[in-house]
Amino acid sequence: MQYPAPIAKLINSFTKLPGIGAKTAARLAFYILEMPESDVLEFAQNLINAKRDLTHCSVCGNITDQDPCIICSDRGRDKSIILVVEDTRDVMSMERMQEFNGYYHVLGGVLSPMEGTGPDDLNVAPLIKRLADEAVKEVIIATNATSEGEATAVYLSRLIKPSGIKVTRLAHGLSVGSDIEYADEMTLFRAIEGRREI
């Protein structure tokens, strides 16, 4: 015996999402049945709207509902610095910090030979074009501290440096509030390597 068709289809839709297996999908689908109808209709509408109304900013590649995006449209920011990140969520993390006042560039991923992602699959060419057009003095590469993120950073720095623009990378070291006891060897090595006089 199978679940009735409407619930089986909903479970199937949930299993297409990352990190959601058959058991979790069933739990979510049954939860939907108990939700107020207005919430479910709103959920369905939000899915459609997010897919239909959002696009990538033609300047920085960030996900946006207006083009250029709200950050690229802000003329009050510092034109001399571009911070390069992997995806939109990284832009949000940086903005939450409320300390960075330059512009962003969203790569939409990282170089990954394993997954067949090369420079042409990323938002790299528009970045190089921005660097030629604009009064950019520094590019901060803020890809993740993973091997792919590091490789992408090295690739970009080699690409940009010949133009004379300063290329920097986020510092590696201990997270604020973390215990040395639990830090991995690479992080400790980077923390010692990057030590500063106090």
Binding site for a copy of itself (CB under 8 A): 1, 3-7, 9-10, 12-13, 16-19, 24, 26-33, 35, 37, 39-54, 63-66, 70-71, 87-89, 92, 95-96
If DSSP codes are grouped into helix, strand and coil, which group holds residue 173? coil
Q: With respect to a copy of itself, which residue has the nearer C-beta, 49 or 58?
A: 49
Secondary-structure percent of the chain, ordered helix, strand, coil, rounded to 5: 50, 10, 40
CA distance 19 to 53: 25
Q: Which two tokens stand for residue 133?
A: 């057009």
Q: With respect to a copy of itself, which residue has the nearer C-beta, 71 or 167?
A: 71
- Compute the least distance from the CB of residue 193 to a copy of itself, in Å: 30
- Compute the least distance from the CB of residue 166 to a copy of itself, in Å: 26
Q: Which two tokens stand for residue 75?
A: 């003329």
Q: What strands, in cross-sheet order, belong to the sheet with 166-169?
A: 103-106, 81-85, 138-141, 166-169
Q: With respect to a copy of itself, which residue has the nearer C-beta, 28 or 154?
A: 28
- Compute the least distance from the CB of residue 195 to a copy of itself, in Å: 32
- Compute the least distance from the CB of residue 86 to a copy of itself, in Å: 12
Q: List the end-to-end C-alpha distance of the chain, in Å, as a whole number.
A: 70
